[in-house]
């Protein structure tokens, strides 16, 4: 406005007659006004820039304020939560404090019970340890006894094995002798001679019709041949035990010599057979026995002629050497 007024004044003076001095004064004032205007414009621009900067700061501060308000609200909420927890914890503490004495007393009672139980367990453990030591000693003794028993069992098993082996050899010998006799005496089959195995022994049974005339103890030639064949087999096995048993029927024998009855007759017939057998020098005479059984071991009824004929017989019982078995059985 001042500038407009100044321009109007200058125009007025230009159209009117003014002095140069006044004109120059006016021009100086105009220049001053122009400089002032420029300074004012500059100040306005700077003020506008400062205003904008201040406006930006205000907006930034408002944003910070809003963030602080939000954070403050959250902290207030968290504070309320902490306060609530504090109140709960305080209540719990007060409850525990009120019940602390009772809990201590209860704990003391429980501790006392536990100590008493521990003492009982220690006593029981000590008793168990003593029992285990005794049991260990007993087991140690038992182990020793078991070892002795095991050694004894092993020894018995060994002896049993030896006995079984010896029995097998004996049975093999018996079977061999039986078969050898059957082969040697095959020509006398059906003539009153039989060969069989019973109870681990070989029985050669000869009826008197093959060996002796009636009431005689002299061996017939046919019977002698059979006995000589038998003696050959016995000579091949000199360790065999031979028992010759004479048997009669139930009829009484009335002799007029030293042979007076069936006892004498059975012994004489057995002795006559033994003499034929041992005539073979290969037969071990120390292993041959003569025995008389009279009529007291019949194999048939003496009421019939057929039965009497069967009872009038001589049995030669051949037994393998049992010395090995006896020695094994006698071992302690």
Class of domain 173-330: alpha beta
Max mean pLDDT range (6-15, 23-32, 272-281, 317-326): 272-281
| Band (325; pLDDT cuts 50, 70, 90) | very low
How do 241-247 and 288-292 pair as beta strands?
parallel
Q: How many CB atoms lie within 10 A of CB 67?
A: 10
- Model confidence pLDDT, tens digit, residues 21-35: 888 888 888 888 889
Query: Exposure of 225 by Cβ count < 10 A (0-12 exposed, 13-18 middle, 19+ buried)?
Result: middle
Among 258, 275, 287, 273, CA closest to 315? 273
Angle at 184 between CA 201 and CA 243, to 5 degrees: 35
**Least confident span in 154-163, 235-244, 271-280:** 154-163
| Band (211; pLDDT cuts 50, 70, 90) | very high
| Band (123; pLDDT cuts 50, 70, 90) | confident
Quick check: 129 pLDDT over 50?
yes
Residue 246 has a pLDDT of: 95
Q: How far apart are CA 243 and CA 238, in angstroms?
A: 14
**When comparing pLDDT for 227 and 178, which is higher?**
227
Write down the domain spans for the chain.
Answer: 27-59, 173-330
| Band (307; pLDDT cuts 50, 70, 90) | very high
How do 193-198 and 288-292 pair as beta strands?
unpaired
**When comparing pLDDT for 230 and 111, which is higher?**
230
- Model confidence pLDDT, tens digit, residues 40-87: 988 898 888 988 888 888 888 889 888 888 888 888 888 888 788 888
């Amino acid at each position: 406005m001042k500038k407009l007024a100044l321009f109007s004044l200058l125009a007025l003076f230009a159209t009117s007659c003014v002095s140069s001095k006044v004109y120059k004064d006016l021009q100086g004032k105009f220049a001053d006004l122009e400089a002032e205007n420029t300074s004012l414009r500059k100040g306005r621009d700077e003020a506008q820039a400062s205003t904008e900067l201040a406006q930006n700061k205000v907006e930034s501060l408002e944003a910070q304020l809003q963030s602080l308000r939000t954070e403050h609200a959250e902290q207030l909420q968290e504070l309320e939560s902490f306060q609530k927890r504090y109140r709960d914890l305080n209540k719990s503490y007060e409850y525990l404090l009120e019940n602390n004495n009772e809990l201590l007393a209860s704990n003391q009672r429980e501790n006392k019970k536990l100590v008493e139980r521990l003492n009982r367990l220690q006593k029981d453990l000590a008793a168990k340890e003593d029992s285990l030591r005794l049991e260990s000693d007993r087991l140690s003794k038992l182990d020793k006894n078991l070892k002795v028993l095991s050694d004894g069992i092993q020894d018995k098993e060994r002896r049993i094995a030896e006995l079984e082996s010896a029995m097998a050899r004996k049975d093999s010998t018996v079977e061999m002798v039986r078969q050898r006799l059957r082969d040697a005496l095959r020509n006398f089959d059906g003539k009153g001679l039989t060969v069989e195995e019973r109870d681990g022994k070989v029985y050669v049974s000869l009826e008197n019709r093959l060996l002796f005339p009636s009431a005689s103890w002299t061996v017939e030639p046919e019977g002698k041949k059979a006995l000589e064949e038998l003696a050959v087999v016995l000579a091949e096995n000199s360790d065999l035990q031979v028992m010759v048993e004479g048997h009669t029927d139930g009829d009484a024998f009335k002799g007029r010599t030293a042979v007076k009855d069936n006892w004498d007759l059975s012994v004489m017939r057995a002795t006559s057979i033994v003499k034929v057998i041992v005539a073979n020098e290969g037969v071990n005479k120390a292993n041959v026995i003569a025995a008389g059984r009279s009529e007291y071991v019949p194999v048939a009824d003496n009421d019939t002629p057929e039965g009497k004929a069967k009872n009038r017989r001589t049995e030669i019982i051949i037994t393998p050497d049992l010395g090995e078995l006896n020695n094994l059985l006698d071992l302690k």
